Amino acid sequence: MSLPQPVRGTHDLLPEEFARHAHVQGTAREMAARFGYAEMATPIFEFTEVFARTMGESSDVVSKEMYSFESRSGESMTLRPEYTAGICRAFISNGLQQNVPFKVFAAGPMFRYERPQKGRQRQFHQIDVECIGAAEAKADIEVVALGAAILDALGVMEKCTLEINTLGDTESRQAYRAALVDYFNDHKSSLSQDSLDRLTRNPLRILDSKDKGDRVIVEQAPIFTDYLNSYSSDFFDEVLEGLSLLGIEYHLNRRLVRGLDYYTHTAFEFVTTALGAQGAVIAGGRYDGLIETLGGKPTPGIGWAGGIERLAMLADEAPAAVRPVALIPVGEEADAVAAKLAHQLRKDGISIEMAFKGNVGKRMKRANKLNARAAILIGEDELVRDVCTLRDLDQGEQSEVPLASLSSALRRLL
């Protein structure tokens, strides 16, 4: 009989890797709080239409990658493939329109059926930031700055490049879309089938094509900034000036776009080549039309998502685990005393490791394996005198300590 294995595209987060994930989440959580972003969470599954509306029925995620299922009541449900749609749905369904700007941070697992690859599994994890209800360029600057602050705190900012572009307002986008359709219609005979399909539905997505033939055509395609009206141009200039004021370096990427119509103005990605081929570790943009797409009142918004797996691979080592203190009773009578003592010391905030069985030698070996900072030995002789032997495992020194003052002695040692 074969041994059970995890489902393809999933893997177990064992303690060492989990610590790296927790380091990324904890760092992001702390930075988000400094910027005034409160933490929240949405359900892991939503009605399918939440994602179908926001990500587009024809998008690869909706048509090929979502984990959807029918509930017992016959309704279509989907495991969340991203956080933004669920948070915007929560904004609407909880009547938070009066709480703007609604600034939130979230972290958790996402699900997409795609080919497993380095840093991306079918169950993967993201950190997410959303600022809903702020139309000002200052919100774009703050959201990008928060991403940069998290990367800097993780020690990976020097490995990343901020790429940024503008998608303009609705008027600018429509003008650009028309120019793209005219251009790609002149090259229809050379486009891939996927791009031909996108030409009628969503021509901007052709700019993201990975087909080599398409890439050659895209190189000569019109550039978005040539179709910006004055308002859109001024808005983008304010964003760039704000980033420069904060000392955040950026690279203008005129080919960086978002395919769906509710995206406007700022689009950005923090990308790296430290994991092989260039890939985004944080990606986001302004989505002023998204809330309305979900059925809410027109409400501006901007946010980003970051891949925890990729950030964990890039980041500095997670802080070392707390080194425990090994409590080693010698004899049955000492077992009961040690159990009560361990309970009290843990209440006092001290990490105590007490093996369930084994002689002193085996328990000391376990203490060393766990990298214990110290060991407490209690035997019959110590019990009579209400003391214990405290052994400093780093220095190799030991002394007798009254049980009544053991907590204080451990605090000084640790």
Q: Which residues participate in the annotated binding site for L-histidine?
A: 82-84, 112, 126, 130, 258, 262-263
Q: Annotate 213-228 with b (16+ C-beta within 10 A) or e (fewer).
A: ebeebbeebeebbebb
Please choose, from the candidates 125, 118, 109, 114, the residue with its C-alpha nearest in 3D space to the C-alpha of residue 63.
Answer: 114
At 289, give phi and psi (nearest 5°).
Answer: -100, 0
Q: Are 263 and 287 in contact (CB under 8 A)?
A: yes
How far lies 69's CA from each of 73, 83, 88, 109, 157, in Å? 11, 19, 22, 18, 39
Alpha helices (H) in 101-167, listed in sequence order: 137-153
How far lies 281's CA from each of 99, 120, 205, 239, 377, in Å? 30, 11, 20, 21, 49
Binding site as annotated, residues: 82-84, 112, 126, 130, 258, 262-263
Q: Are 324 and 375 in contact (CB under 8 A)?
A: no
Q: 16: part of which helix (H) or strand (E)? A: helix 15-34
Q: 17: part of which helix (H) or strand (E)? A: helix 15-34
DSSP string, 200-256: HH-GGGGGG---HHHHHHHHTS--GGGG--HHHHHHHHHHHHHHHHTT---EE-TT-
CB atoms within 10 A of CB 365: 12
Contact residues for 27 (Cβ-Cβ < 8 A; gap 6+): 150, 153, 154, 315
The answer for 12, left when phi > 0, alpha when psi is -120 to 50, beta otherwise, is: beta
